[in-house]
Amino acid sequence: MSRPKNKPVHISCENSRQRGAGTLLAWLLLGVCVIFGVALAVGGAGGGVSALWALLDGGGDPLLGRVIVELRLPRVAGAMAVGALLAVSGVLMQTLLRNPLADPYVLGLSGGASCGAILALAAGASGIWVDGGAWLGALATMLVVFGLAGGPGGWERGARLLLTGVVVASGWGAAVSFLLYLMPDERLRGALFWLMGDVSRGTDPRLALGVLALVVGLVWPFSRALNLLAGGPDRAAALGVAVTPLRVMLYLLSSLAAASAVATAGSIGFVGLVTPHLLRLAGCGDHRVLLPASALLGGGLLTLADLLARTVIAPRQMPAGILTALLGAPLFLWLLRRSGR
Amino acid sequence: MTPPLLTLEGVELGVGGRRFCENLHWSVSPGECWGVLGPNGAGKSTLLHALAGLRPVEAGTIRLQGTPIETLSRRAVARSVGILFQDQEYPFPATVLETVRAGRYPHRPFWSGESAEDQRLALTALWETGLEGFDARRVESLSGGERRRMEAATLLVQSPRVWLLDEPTNHLDLGHQIALLELLLRKSRGQQGAMILVVHDINLAARFCDRFLFLFGSGESCQGTGEEMLQEALLTRLFRHPMRAAHFGEARCWMPL
Q: What is the pLDDT along chain B (257 residues), one digit of tens a residue?
A: 578 999 999 999 988 888 898 999 999 999 999 999 999 989 999 999 999 999 999 999 999 999 999 999 999 999 999 999 998 888 888 889 989 999 999 998 887 778 888 999 999 999 999 999 998 898 888 999 999 999 999 999 999 999 999 999 989 999 999 999 999 999 999 989 999 999 999 999 999 999 999 999 888 999 999 989 999 999 999 999 999 999 888 888 998 88
d(CA A318, CA A23): 35
Kindly give, in sequence order, each residue whose CB lies less than 8 Å from that of residue A128, ignoring residues fewer than 6 positions away: none
Q: How confident is the model at residue A17 (pLDDT cuts 50, 70, 90)?
A: low
Yes or no, beta carbons of B105 and A228 under 8 Å apart:
yes
pLDDT of residue B178: 94
Yes or no, beta carbons of B88 and A231 under 8 Å apart:
yes
Pairing of strands B18-28, B162-166: unpaired
C-alpha dihedral sign at A102, B55, A147, A149: positive
Q: How far is B93 from chain A (nearest CA, A)?
A: 7
Query: Would you say B223 and B192 are in contact if contact means Cβ atoms under 8 Å apart?
Result: no
d(CA A301, CA B178): 53
Chain A residues with CB under 8 Å of a chain B CB are 1-3, 8-10, 12-14, 94, 98-100, 156, 158, 221, 224-225, 227-228, 230-232, 234-235, 237-243, 280-281, 283, 285-286, 288
Q: Which residues of A touch B183 (CB under 8 A)?
A: 1
Residue A18's identity, in one-letter code, is: Q
Q: How far is B184 from chain A (nearest CA, A)?
A: 10
What's the ipTM? 0.90
Q: Is the pLDDT of residue A256 over 90?
A: no
A224-229: which pairs have CB atoms within 8 A and are 24 or more residues apart?
Answer: A224/A287, A224/A288, A224/B102, A224/B105, A224/B113, A225/B105, A226/A95, A226/A250, A226/A287, A227/A285, A227/A286, A227/A287, A227/B94, A227/B98, A227/B102, A228/B102, A228/B105, A229/A95, A229/A96
Query: Would you say A247 and A226 are in contact if contact means Cβ atoms under 8 Å apart?
Result: no
Neighbours of A234 (CB within 10 A): 17
pLDDT of residue A4: 46
Just give the CATH number of A80-340: 1.10.3470.10
Chain CA centroid to CA B149, Å:
14
Pairing of strands B59-64, B6-15: antiparallel
pLDDT of residue A270: 83
The DSSP code sequence of A20-53 is HHHHHHHHHHHHHHHHHHHHHH-STT--HHHHHH
Q: How confident is the model at residue A285 (pLDDT cuts 50, 70, 90)?
A: confident
- What's the average model confidence in pLDDT over A100-105? 81
What proportions of chain A, in percent to the nearest 5, are helix, strand and coil? 75, 0, 25
d(CA B90, CA A225): 15
pLDDT of residue A10: 47
Yes or no, beta carbons of A240 and B110 under 8 Å apart:
no
Yes or no, beta carbons of A12 and B119 under 8 Å apart:
yes
Q: Which residues of B touch A241 (CB under 8 A)?
A: 74, 105
Burial (CB count <10 Å: 0-12, 13-18, 19+), residue B123: buried
CB-closest option in B81, B93, B176 to A285: B93
Pairing of strands B33-37, B211-215: parallel
State the best of B73, B127, B148, B196 to mutate against chain A, taking most chain A CBs within 10 Å: B127
Q: Which residues of B touch A225 (CB under 8 A)?
A: 105
The DSSP code sequence of chain B is -PPPSEEEEEEEEEETTEEEEEEEEEEE-TT-EEEEE--TTSSHHHHHHHHTTSS--SEEEEEETTEEGGGS-HHHHHHHEEEE-S-----S--BHHHHHHGGGGGGS-TT----HHHHHHHHHHHHHTT-TT-TTSBGGGS-HHHHHHHHHHHHHHH--SEEEEESTTTT--HHHHHHHHHHHHHHHHHTT-EEEEE-S-HHHHHHH-SEEEEE-SSB-EEEEEHHHH--HHHHHHHHTS-EEEEEETTEEEEEE-
Query: Would you say A39 and A31 are in contact if contact means Cβ atoms under 8 Å apart?
Result: no
Q: How far is B231 from chain A (nearest CA, A)?
A: 31
Q: How far is B96 from chain A (nearest CA, A)?
A: 12
Residue A137's identity, in one-letter code, is: G
Q: Which residues of A touch B76 (CB under 8 A)?
A: 240
Ordered domains of chain B (ranges, CATH):
6-91+158-256 (3.40.50.300)
Q: Is the pLDDT of residue A335 over 90?
A: no
Yes or no, beta carbons of B106 and A224 under 8 Å apart:
no
Query: Would you say B6 and B63 are in contact if contact means Cβ atoms under 8 Å apart?
Result: yes
Which range has the worst mean pLDDT, A95-109, A152-166, B169-183, B187-201? Answer: A152-166
Domain locations along chain A: 35-64, 80-340
Give the residue on A whose Cα is nearest the Cα of B102: A228
Q: Which residues of A touch B96 (CB under 8 A)?
A: none
Taking only Cα atoms into account, the Rg of chain A, rounded to an integer number of angstroms, comes to 21
Higher pLDDT, A155 or A103: A103
Phi/psi of residue A112, each to 5°? -65, -40
Give the residue on B whose Cα is nearest the Cα of A12: B119
pLDDT of residue A262: 83
Phi/psi of residue B110, each to 5°? -55, -40
* Burial state string for B36-49 with b = 16 or more CB within 10 A and e = fewer than 16: bbbbeebbbbbbbb
Q: Is the pLDDT of residue A11 over 50?
A: no
Greatest Cα pair distance, chain B, in angstroms, is 58
d(CA B31, CA B165): 15
Q: Which residues of B touch A285 (CB under 8 A)?
A: 92-95, 98
Q: Is the pLDDT of residue A14 over 50?
A: no
Q: Is B58 left (phi over 0), alpha (psi -120 to 50) or beta?
A: alpha
Q: Is the pLDDT of residue A166 over 70?
A: yes
Higher pLDDT, A27 or A55: A27
State the best of A18, A235, A286 to mutate against chain B, taking most chain B CBs within 10 Å: A235
Asked, as a colleague might, if the bond just before A315 is cis with ω within 30 of 0, I would say yes
CB-closest option in A2, A13, A243 to B179: A2
d(CA B105, CA A241): 9
Phi/psi of residue B199, each to 5°? -140, 160
Q: How confident is the model at residue A157 (pLDDT cuts 50, 70, 90)?
A: low
DSSP character for A146?
H
Pairing of strands B162-166, B194-198: parallel
